[in-house]
Amino acid sequence: MIPTVLPTYNRAPLAFVRGEGSWLVTGDGSRYLDLGAGIAVNALGHANPDLVAALGEQAGRLWHVSNLYQIPEQQRLADLLVAHSFADTVFFTNSGTEAAELAIKMARKYWSAKSQPERIVILTFEGAFHGRSTGAIAAAGSEKMVKGYGPLMPGFSQLSWGDIEAARAAIGPDTAAVMIEPIQGEGGIRVLPDADLRALRGLCDASGALLILDEVQCGMGRTGRLFAHEWAGITPDIMMVAKGIGGGFPLGAVLATEAAAQAMTAGSHGSTYGGNPLACAVGAKVTEIIADPAFLAEVNRKAGLFRQRLEGLVAAHPDLFEGLRGQGLMLGLKCREGTAPADLVAAGYAEHLLSVPAADNTLRILPPLTITDDEIAEAARRLDRAATALSARRG
Ligand SMILES: *Cc1c(COP(=O)(O)O)cnc(C)c1O
């Protein structure tokens, strides 16, 4: 008999009833150190007092009104994001997938409004993840995600990951946009070198194509800058954000330049919940905290500490690990052939440690950005015990 919850996930036999900072607590009081943070969502940890206060205060005042009216909380968050980014304008969604949908629509509308409706192809990259809608799975194109869901939405062309020469060859008079994650999350914490992101920006500039960056996972302070593309010194035309921006409250956004967004006029797009007062009150608090240069400096300092520990772990377990990847607190342990990240995740559970598998045989480490030095040391000890146990079991 089919479970009452549609079984599209392989769930661990763990149920948490409470969270505190970097820790999750089960019903029987067992505490787990959380290096997954709801997949880069709980950027400020669990039950963060500032966020609890922002949500509680808004909850007692006003939950929802509809985008038929002015929403001061939404205006405030949009102003904050514009002040701290390349963007001139923001549309709020409830998820990363919906942000991807709008980014795709915006790119098409841009060329339609320029009377070049033949420019419909969006170049994407193998290993990409942009969400689970029909548009987002067509964009990523991976066999696993699209199987059985055809016919797929046309207008996407996938290139090898980070293949700039392929992009140079593919970009042409039918190209609407290039869409890429500066660091692939689901794809295995694969970092696009800064020089390659700059090269893509250059190719887009030369052809007029829009550069769409998916920072749903790598944005909002995760890499030690508010947005990952800042490291490369370039700006996109359109950017998707979600996950960390709500700190656990469902919220996403599309940020865009005025030029890229100019065709999006009244009635061209919409969302019932998108940008509602509850979500935006929380999002504004999250953004205010993370955009503070002192906060980002701490993320970078702790990332250095964590990286050092994980390099030690890799060196201590050469049978399991090939190396360390990532930037800031978006880290990946690349496993050797024959070592399944899922087995490491399971060994982590036994040590009361939560981590997340990814593609390309990589284990993801995405702790709350507020993780403490002591917790980083504790995480390294637990990872070491999990790795030792896994090695021993394999003999
Ligand atoms: C998670 C993710 C998405 C999809 O976001 P949802 O909120 O799950 O819809 C899109 N792009 C990237 C890079 C992601 O990591």
pLDDT tens readout for residues 280-295 = 999 999 999 999 999 9
Q: How far is CA 315 from CA 308, 310, 358, 379, in A?
A: 11, 8, 21, 16
pLDDT tens readout for residues 143-157 = 999 999 999 999 999
Instruction: Please determine, for residue 395, whether its predicted confidence score (pLDDT) is greater than 80.
Output: no
Pocket lining: 215 vs ligand 1, CB cutoff 6 Å: no
Report CA(241)–ligand 1 centroid distance (Å).
Answer: 9
pLDDT tens readout for residues 300-341 = 999 999 999 999 999 999 999 999 999 999 999 999 999 999
Q: How far is CA 117 from CA 37, 152, 256, 265, 266, in A?
A: 42, 20, 20, 18, 20
Atom of ligand 1 nearest to the CA of 39: 1
Q: What average pLDDT does range 193-198 have in this prediction?
A: 98
Pocket lining: 214 vs ligand 1, CB cutoff 6 Å: yes
Pocket lining: 234 vs ligand 1, CB cutoff 6 Å: no
Report CA(323)–ligand 1 centroid distance (Å).
Answer: 25
Pocket lining: 127 vs ligand 1, CB cutoff 6 Å: no
Instruction: Please determine, for residue 23, whether its predicted confidence score (pLDDT) is greater than 80.
Output: yes
- At residue 354's C-alpha, the angle toward residues 353 and 360, to 5°, is 125
Pocket lining: 221 vs ligand 1, CB cutoff 6 Å: no
Atom of ligand 1 nearest to the CA of 217: 15
pTM of the model: 0.98
Q: What average pLDDT does range 53-75 have in this prediction?
A: 98
Pocket lining: 357 vs ligand 1, CB cutoff 6 Å: no
Give the pLDDT score at 155.
97
Q: How confident is the model at residue 387 (pLDDT cuts 50, 70, 90)?
A: very high
pLDDT tens readout for residues 340-369 = 999 999 999 999 999 999 999 999 999 999
Give the pLDDT score at 394.
81
pLDDT tens readout for residues 83-112 = 999 999 999 999 999 999 999 999 999 999
What whole-number percentage of the chain has pLDDT above 70? 100
345 by Cβ neighbours in 10 Å (0-12 / 13-18 / 19+) ranks as: buried
Pocket lining: 94 vs ligand 1, CB cutoff 6 Å: no
CATH tag for 16-34+293-394 (out of 3.50.30.20, 3.30.9.10, 3.90.1150.10, 3.20.20.70): 3.90.1150.10
Instruction: Please determine, for residue 33, whether its predicted confidence score (pLDDT) is greater than 90.
Output: yes
Pocket lining: 135 vs ligand 1, CB cutoff 6 Å: no
Q: How far is CA 395 from CA 233, 343, 382, 388, 392, in A?
A: 48, 15, 20, 10, 5
CB atoms within 10 A of CB 342: 13
Mean pLDDT, all residues of the chain:
98
Instruction: Please determine, for residue 209, whether its predicted confidence score (pLDDT) is greater than 90.
Output: yes
Report CA(293)–ligand 1 centroid distance (Å).
Answer: 26
Taking CA atoms only, the protein residue closest to ligand 1 atom 11 is 130
What whole-number percentage of the chain has pLDDT above 90? 99
Q: What average pLDDT does range 39-65 have in this prediction?
A: 98
CA distance 10 to 79: 40
Segments of the chain assigned E as strands: 16-20, 23-26, 31-34, 89-93, 121-125, 156-159, 175-180, 183-184, 190-191, 210-214, 238-241, 252-256, 321-327, 330-335, 353-354, 356-358, 362-365
The yes/no answer on whether domain 50-290 falls in CATH 3.40.640.10 is yes
Taking CA atoms only, the protein residue closest to ligand 1 atom 6 is 96
Report CA(8)–ligand 1 centroid distance (Å).
Answer: 16
Atom of ligand 1 nearest to the CA of 98: 9
Pocket lining: 242 vs ligand 1, CB cutoff 6 Å: yes
Domain boundaries in the chain? 16-34+293-394, 50-290
Give the pLDDT score at 149.
97
